[in-house]
Amino acid sequence: MTNATKATVLALLIAPTVAFAQLTPGDAAGTEEADILAFLEAEGYTIEEVETEGDVLEVEALLDGSAFEIEVDLTTGQIAEIEAEDEDDDDDADDDDNGDEDDA
């Protein structure tokens, strides 16, 4: 088997895995909390926290060691937003280096 053939076979094996875990806003996830969580778990996410605010289900989840916040519109069942969480993003952190509490 040539190196080009090996690379092609490897790419074909890896591509479905990468595409499988890619959610985008507008994807249908369901309108019930249990269905949404099952959908996300089937996509490879580990659910960490769930909160409902009005007609939006906010899910904090992990995928391959990265943290995400996923918002699902409960009326349409569509993913409204997917945001990668920054590990350094702490609302209680003192980001201005002057020793007092965060100014936000």
> Could you read off the pLDDT of 40-97 as tens digits, one per residue?
999 999 999 999 999 999 999 999 999 999 999 999 999 999 999 876 655 544 455 5
Radius of gyration of the chain (CA): 19
Where in 23-100 does DSSP place strands (E)? 46-53, 56-63, 66-73, 79-84
User: Cα separation of 62 and 44, whole Å?
Assistant: 9
pLDDT for 17: 40
Total H helices, total E strands in the chain: 2, 4
Whole-prediction pTM:
0.65
pLDDT in tens, 7-48: 555 555 544 444 345 899 999 999 999 999 999 999 999 999
What are 29's two structure tokens?
A: 């996830």
pLDDT for 90: 52
Measured in degrees and rounded to the nearest 5, phi and psi for residue 42 equal -65, -25
